[in-house]
């Protein structure tokens, strides 16, 4: 039993040893919205999570590629413990250049009424064809495929049966009798027989046979090659007997060279015909020609069977001088026997063709879901090409299974159609990804149209896009959440994307998570600091929380920089709390309070509890507290640790360099300038220099955070900062 996605309120995901995820136990709730967003810094869990869900949707097992011997656990259930249906889960990777419209999407995105009418026409046509084919098969006794054989006989191609029927309908209608309808097709038109009969030597012999036969017919007293051949005579005999001509007392009067001859019985007529026939067939010259043909036909069972038949039907030999023409005559005879079925099929073909043209015209003009998808793409995404559906009418009608797209490339005022493979060679990576979005749109819209309950796991769909295309994607994700049957799990390593997803209403605040990787596994914590962390959290606790107070220093410094400039006295003081300067140790909490109150009005009589305490002492205590805190995002803890690490490192390097004339003149990029001078003077061990390099790499951007760009400090590992702090603490001046 599988869950009902539309009514599902929760998804419980339990993973163990899945593509590098050691452990993950998380619950996603959809009470307040249809989308969950997970921010996961690179290397945390994002790609592994997407791969695991891909395995699940494909019905494949998941393994741990790093430790393949570890036992894997994977459970994806609703709130009742019922497993999701894998077919309801669609994973959209961040980019897949090969992804194109599929037969599934092409089939779903059509006008169902138009296709149904077209399919019904085809069903009626095929039914009429099959009725005729069945009758022809019985008449001809052939084991060959009737459709391809008739097509080949009259058009020289195997797949033009309807064209063949239309071509010969008049010939059949004009035929008075089905002269050759009794002939066994495969006996005469066996490929081995035909090959022999078409041999130039045999053709020559047959021509001589016909020439001599015509001479004998001209000499015959009763037969005539023009009007009363051997075949005609035998057919007359059969017909008269069948209709009891002589039993009714009738007689025949035959004109010979002499007097009239009256025939009053069937036996007399049969004897006369047999005698005349014998005079002709016993002719020595004619017999020699027949023997030559017989000798050529004694090669195998099929050819011997043909000669045994033709020996009793020598009247057929003249026809075999042109085998292809005779085969056409024979099939026309078969069709004459089934003329009513032929007429039904011809009428059906003509009516179907007329309506088919009308439907195809309508299909070519029809605005389908494809056009809606293409319109969404052309209108919302910024790329140097326009899209159109190349074979839409044929796909609508089921004549082709997969949609083909036309790319019209624009440059200045010139436009040209470009093949997809060539287009990919000239597009930027961002434009290629925009093209990929088109194929995602097809999948989504197809499922929307089909009413398919779907959990979309979307892995960094907007990664590496410019802002205009990124916002177009986010808007489309918002529209996806408005679909009753859809639920979304959005994965991203871009913090700005997470913030935009929240601000645009794609996911609610309570449905946004931050991934944190620890020693035991991955935890997903409710997201914090998505909106301005300074105004929402840090500022309000400036006078009550040491951690929030120290973490606020870079924000306050930035505000002063924006409002008063870097020459402002307060800016300089705060800089001395972020870099080790000559006055850093002497700056007190009271000094810090004054700057805060001057910058932000309305703080009243608020003050830090220990005004005379140096801020550096408070920094040290908070850093130690941050080192021992529980694992988590710990945004303010990371800022405090970054400041403490830099201060300790700079203090150590200044002491070791011991050159006030150099250190006192540094006004910008102090950490990096100190590190380069430290290395230049060959101070410290290789291990110490390595630690100082990590300080420069890890803390430089983290301290200078602001409300608009503070992703680096969230991306950095909490454990890495704790480790670096401990290493910097061990740096001692010798």
- What DSSP letter does each residue of 434-462 carry, written as one string? HHHHHHHHHHHHHHHHHT--EEEEEESTT
- Give the separation between CA 111 and CA 586, rounded to whole angstroms: 78
More confident residue, 386 or 15: 15
**To 10 degrees, what angle do helices 615-627 and 718-729 make?**
120
Q: What are the tens digits of pLDDT across the range 115-158? A: 667 667 778 888 999 999 999 999 999 999 999 999 998 999 98
Q: What are the tens digits of pLDDT across the range 696-720? A: 877 655 455 443 345 556 666 677 7
213-232 in b/e form (b: 16+ CB < 10 A) is beebbeebebbebeeebbbe
List the alpha helices (DSSP H) in 540-659.
546-563, 569-578, 589-599, 615-627, 635-657
Burial of 430 (0-12, 13-18, 19+ CB in 10 A): middle
| Strand order across the beta sheet in which 414-418 lies | 385-389, 405-411, 414-418
Band of pLDDT at residue 521, cut at 50, 70 and 90: confident
Q: What is the pLDDT of residue 706?
A: 45
Q: What is the pTM of this model?
A: 0.56
Torsion of CA 648, 649, 652, 654, to 10 degrees: -110
Q: What are the tens digits of pLDDT across the range 289-304? A: 667 766 666 667 777 7
Under 8 Å between Cβ of 674 and 657: yes
Q: What is the pLDDT of residue 470?
A: 79
Distances (CA, A) of 559 to 422, 532, 584, 635: 50, 13, 20, 19
Band of pLDDT at residue 335, cut at 50, 70 and 90: very high
Residues 190-198: what's their mean pLDDT? 77
Q: What is the pLDDT of residue 345?
A: 92
Task: Give the number of residues written for the chain.
Answer: 734
- Using the predicted structure, report yes or no on whether residue 673 has a pLDDT greater than 70: yes
Q: Which two tokens stand for residue 255?
A: 């004109």
The strand pair at 252-254 and 261-263 is best described as antiparallel
- Give the separation between CA 491 and CA 500, rounded to whole angstroms: 13
- Give the separation between CA 169 and CA 172, rounded to whole angstroms: 5
Cα 480 to its chain centre, rounded Å, is 19
**To 10 degrees, what angle do helices 589-599 and 569-578 make?**
130
How much is the mean pLDDT over the chain? 79
Band of pLDDT at residue 9, cut at 50, 70 and 90: confident
Q: What is the pLDDT of residue 131?
A: 94
Q: What is the pLDDT of residue 235?
A: 64
More confident residue, 309 or 595: 595
More confident residue, 452 or 384: 452
Q: What is the pLDDT of residue 342?
A: 92
Q: What is the pLDDT of residue 108?
A: 42
- Give the separation between CA 180 and CA 333, rounded to whole angstroms: 6
- Using the predicted structure, report yes or no on whether residue 255 has a pLDDT greater than 60: yes
Under 8 Å between Cβ of 565 and 589: no
End-to-end CA distance of the chain: 71
Q: What is the pLDDT of residue 623?
A: 93
């Amino acid at each position: 039993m599988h869950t009902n996605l539309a009514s599902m309120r929760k998804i419980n995901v339990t993973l163990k040893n899945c593509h590098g995820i050691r452990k993950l136990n998380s619950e996603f709730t959809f009470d307040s919205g249809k989308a969950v967003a997970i921010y996961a810094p690179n290397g945390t869990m994002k790609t592994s999570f997407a791969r695991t869900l891909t395995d699940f949707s494909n019905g494949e097992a998941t393994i741990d590629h790093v430790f393949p011997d570890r036992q894997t656990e994977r459970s994806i259930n609703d709130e009742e413990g019922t497993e999701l249906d894998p077919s309801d889960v669609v994973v959209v990777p961040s980019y897949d250049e090969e992804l194109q419209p599929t037969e599934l999407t092409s089939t779903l995105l059509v006008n169902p009424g138009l296709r149904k009418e077209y399919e019904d026409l085809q069903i009626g046509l095929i039914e009429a064809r099959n009725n005729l084919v069945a009758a022809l098969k019985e008449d001809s006794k052939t084991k060959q495929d009737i459709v391809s054989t008739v097509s080949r006989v009259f058009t020289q191609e195997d797949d033009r049966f309807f064209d063949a029927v239309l071509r010969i309908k008049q010939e059949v209608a004009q035929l008075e009798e089905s002269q050759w309808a009794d002939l066994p097709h495969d006996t005469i038109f066996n490929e081995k027989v035909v090959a022999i009969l078409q041999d130039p030597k045999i053709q020559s012999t047959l021509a001589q046979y016909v020439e001599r036969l015509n001479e004998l017919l001209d000499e015959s007293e009763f037969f005539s090659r023009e009007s009363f051949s051997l075949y005609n005579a035998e057919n007359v005999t059969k017909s008269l007997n069948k209709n009891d001509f002589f039993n009714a007392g009738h007689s025949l009067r035959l004109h010979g060279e002499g007097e009239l001859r009256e025939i009053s019985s069937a036996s007399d007529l049969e004897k006369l015909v047999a005698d005349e026939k014998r005079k002709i067939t016993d002719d020595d010259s004619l017999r020699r020609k027949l023997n030559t043909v017989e000798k050529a036909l004694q090669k195998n069972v099929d050819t011997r069977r043909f000669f045994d038949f033709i020996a009793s039907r020598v009247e057929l030999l003249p026809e075999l001088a042109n085998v292809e023409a005779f085969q056409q005559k024979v099939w026309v005879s078969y069709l004459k026997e089934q003329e009513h079925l032929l007429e039904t099929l011809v009428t059906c073909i003509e009516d179907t063709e007329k309506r088919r043209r009308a439907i195809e015209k309508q299909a070519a003009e029809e605005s389908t879901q494809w056009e809606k998808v293409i319109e969404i793409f052309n209108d919302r995404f910024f790329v140097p090409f326009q899209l159109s559906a190349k074979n839409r009418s044929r796909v609508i009608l089921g004549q082709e299974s997969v949609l083909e797209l036309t790319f019209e490339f624009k440059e200045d005022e010139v436009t040209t159609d470009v093949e997809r493979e060539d287009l990919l060679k000239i597009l930027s990576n961002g434009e290629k990804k925009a093209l990929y979005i088109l194929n995602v749109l097809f999948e989504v819209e197809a499922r929307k149209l089909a009413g398919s309950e779907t959990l979309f796991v979307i892995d960094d769909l907007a990664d590496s896009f410019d802002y205009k295309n990124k916002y177009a994607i986010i808007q489309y994700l918002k529209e996806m959440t408005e679909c009753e049957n859809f639920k979304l799990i959005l994965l991203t390593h871009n913090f700005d994307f997470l913030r935009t997803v929240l601000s645009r209403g794609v996911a609610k605040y309570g449905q946004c998570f931050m991934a944190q990787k620890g020693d035991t596994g991955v935890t997903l914590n409710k997201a914090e600091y998505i909106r301005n962390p300074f105004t929402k959290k840090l500022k309000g606790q400036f006078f009550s929380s040491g951690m929030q107070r120290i973490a606020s220093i870079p924000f306050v410094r930035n505000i002063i920089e924006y409002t008063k400039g870097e020459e402002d006295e307060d800016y300089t003081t705060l800089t001395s709390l972020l870099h080790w300067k000559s006055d850093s140790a002497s700056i007190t909490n009271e000094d810090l309070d004054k700057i805060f109150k001057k910058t932000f009005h309305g703080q009243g009589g608020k003050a830090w509890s220990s005004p005379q305490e140096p801020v550096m002492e408070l920094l040290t205590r908070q850093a130690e507290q941050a080192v021992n805190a529980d694992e988590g995002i710990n945004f303010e803890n990371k800022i405090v640790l970054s400041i403490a690490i830099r201060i300790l490192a700079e203090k150590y390097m200044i002491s070791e360099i011991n050159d006030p004339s150099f250190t006192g003149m540094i006004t910008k990029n102090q950490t990096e300038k100190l590190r380069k001078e430290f290395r230049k003077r060959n101070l410290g061990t290789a291990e110490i220099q390595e630690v100082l390099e990590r300080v420069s790499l890890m803390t430089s951007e983290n301290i200078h955070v602001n409300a608009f760009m503070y992703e680096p400090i969230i991306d950095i590992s909490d454990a890495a900062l704790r480790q670096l702090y401990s290493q910097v603490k061990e740096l001692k001046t010798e």
